[in-house]
Amino acid sequence: MSGKPQFDEPAVIAAALEVFWRHGYAGTSISQLTEATGLSRSSLYQRFGDKDGLFQEALSAYIDRVLQRAVAVRADTPRERLEALLREFLPRAGRAARPPGCLLARSGSELADIPPAGQALVVDGLKRQRAMLEDLLREAVAQRQLAPDANVAALSWHYLGVLQAILNLPQAGATAAELGGVVDAAMAAWPRRAPTR
């Protein structure tokens, strides 16, 4: 025996991700995970240690997927790229079905129920999302599309909140058109540079 897992790890992690996404960390049972992944309890514990170990791998995969999708967005200017990034996550007909909301936001709302290693991963995931937005805003300052004294930290939190709203509000009934209006309002908050004299 090689000691390597005798199963498709990416497929197992993807299946577990769907369960955690639908039910949350606290609401997910080992039985649900074994049913979804096809693993026996012993195989799950041997490879991942426990539910928290599998949750960490699933959440890591989710965070990486969202960030890769976000950084893949292309546009001519940082402002246009930010708007395109927000619109990329609007709900669309025909897009592959996925559980409602954002797994990272859901995990943040139940942080007290998640063991410390998982908590650290949730916080780090949100920091990485915000850092991506902050980098984009700093690029805008460097290109003189934002004033040098623009409050980049506050703006990065603002746009992270908008992104989370886009990901989470469809399950409360917000339509793509309504959320498109949210993007319009968010971009109106982009500070205009004072005219040069």
53-77 burial, b if ≥16 CB within 10 A, otherwise e? bbbbbbbebbbeebeeebeebeeee
Q: What pLDDT shows up at residue 195?
A: 47
Q: Is 192 left (phi over 0), alpha (psi -120 to 50) or beta?
A: beta
Q: What is the pTM of this model?
A: 0.87
Q: What pLDDT shows up at residue 193?
A: 65
Tens digit of pLDDT for each residue in 55-103? Answer: 999 999 999 999 999 999 999 999 999 999 999 999 887 665 678 889 9
Residues of the chain with pLDDT under 50: 1-2, 194-195, 197
Domains of the chain plus CATH, in order, are: 62-188 (1.10.357.10)
CA angle, 31 then 57 then 162, to 5°: 105
Q: What pLDDT shows up at residue 189?
A: 87
Q: What pLDDT shows up at residue 6?
A: 72
